[in-house]
Structure 1
Amino acid sequence: MNALEARIDRLESLDAIRQLAAKYSLALDMRDMDAMVNLFEENVRVGKDARGRQALRAYMDGTLRSPFTGTSHHIGGHIIEFDDPDHAHGICYSKNEHETGDEWVIMQMMYADNYVRMDGRWYFARRLPLYWYATDLNKPPVGDNKMRWPGTEWVEGNFHKLFPSFAEFWEREGDHGGPVAEPAPLEKFIETMRRGQAAPKVKVRAD
């Protein structure tokens, strides 16, 4: 592949990966479970012990039945970086709404994604949901425990835990006074921001 072909391939790959996120939201909200799981690689890991699209479909089918009546997922910023021509990772913001009986739960979150191209098509290899808050529309999510699903205990989300800068910012009283860091290398913006931080454990909800 020459330089021009590689650049065109990269542009086509970027668009295909962005389409994955949009297709995921539509398939999830319309409850088309087959369309949704076919966005993932065939051997996708589901929980600790299961793998495959059928296992993912069974898990999501159960998850989306209770307590949810309907959902709407609104995609925000989407950062995509490539490890090689067939593997990439990204961060995708999502603002979501959920009808849950007599409550309307709003949510802010992001996905930490891994993508893989197989047989010329891009798929999700993994979607790790990182939540900031979830609460009824009439109950502002103030305080530490911002995840407030109807009928459950309020718990802390994990929205900031992939990136150590948030905790460091609040641990100091002002600007640290040191030199400004060098810009992140190309395709290393997310990795640079994570600075080796391990992914937090996540109890997945519908999203």
Structure 2
Amino acid sequence: MGNESDLVRTVAQLSERVRELESIHELQRLRAEFHRCLNNAEWDALGGLFADDAHLDYGDFGQAHGGAGVRDFYSALPKKILEFQRGASEISFKNFIQGHQVEILGPDEAKGVSFFAEKIRFDRASEIHQSIGQFTDTYVRQGGRWYFAGVELDHYWVVPDNQDWRWPW
């Protein structure tokens, strides 16, 4: 049987590992919540996932700062996307996350990367496009809760995806 100091060390290591696993789980939930809010056009809730000094970088689509700026950015995003699709008057999209990897950097800092596939529909009887890319995130824990400190979008491509497309199903 080990001595008491070995037991204390083991308990401390296990406690730290549990904290890390809980943080990873919370961050994966945060990323999933991002996409749920995005898909349901819940702009206030989406902005609430970001720290007050957060930075969002969507490349050609623009940047935003802080939770309120992120909320405003996303609420205006559908109109910006419509500008790229001439002749369309309506847009809807659904964004799906996959392969979310998280690295805990410290008790209140982490980073992550995830991939997404998004279906974008212009007008009900018109075209659908598929968008593929990667999110690179930084996270910060404030007040015992994780937030996005930064989100950077790397768009790989947006391509038409109309084969066998029908509306309504």
Contact 2:49 2:67 survives alignment (8 Å): no
Q: Which has the larger radius of gyration?
A: 2
Structure 1, unmatched stretches of 5+, are 140-207
Residue in structure 2 matched with residue 22 of structure 1 by the alignment = 32
* SS of aligned partner of 1:24: helix
Residue 80 of structure 1 and its aligned partner are, at CA, apart by 0.8
Residue 4 of structure 1 and its aligned partner are, at CA, apart by 2.0
Higher helix share: 2
Pick one of 134, 141, 166 that aligns with 1:110.
Answer: 134
Query: For structure 1, which segment, 12-21 or 61-70, has the greater mean C-alpha deviation from structure 2 after superposition?
Result: 61-70
> For this pair of structures, how many residues does the alignment match?
139
Residue in structure 2 matched with residue 7 of structure 1 by the alignment = 17
* SS of aligned partner of 1:10: helix
Residue 65 of structure 1 and its aligned partner are, at CA, apart by 3.5
Residue in structure 1 matched with residue 144 of structure 2 by the alignment = 120
CA RMSD, Structure 1 to Structure 2 (Å): 2.2
Residue 45 of structure 1 and its aligned partner are, at CA, apart by 2.9
Distance 1:14 1:76, change over 3 A: same
State the distance in 1 between where 2:150 and 2:48 align: 13
Structure 2, unmatched stretches of 5+, are 1-10, 83-89, 164-169
* SS of aligned partner of 2:113: strand
Residue-by-residue CA offset, 1:94-114 (whole Å, 9 max, x unaligned): 111111232211011111111
Residue in structure 2 matched with residue 136 of structure 1 by the alignment = 160
Residue in structure 1 matched with residue 85 of structure 2 by the alignment = none
Equivalent runs, 1:1-207 vs 2, <5 Å = 2-45=12-55, 51-66=65-80, 67=82, 69-101=91-123, 102-138=126-162
Alignment identity in percent? 25
Could you state the TM-score of these two structures normalised by the residue count of structure 2?
A: 0.74
Higher strand share: 2
* SS of aligned partner of 2:79: coil
Residue 72 of structure 1 and its aligned partner are, at CA, apart by 1.1
Query: For structure 1, which segment, 77-86 or 19-28, has the greater mean C-alpha deviation from structure 2 after superposition?
Result: 77-86
Residue 64 of structure 1 and its aligned partner are, at CA, apart by 2.3
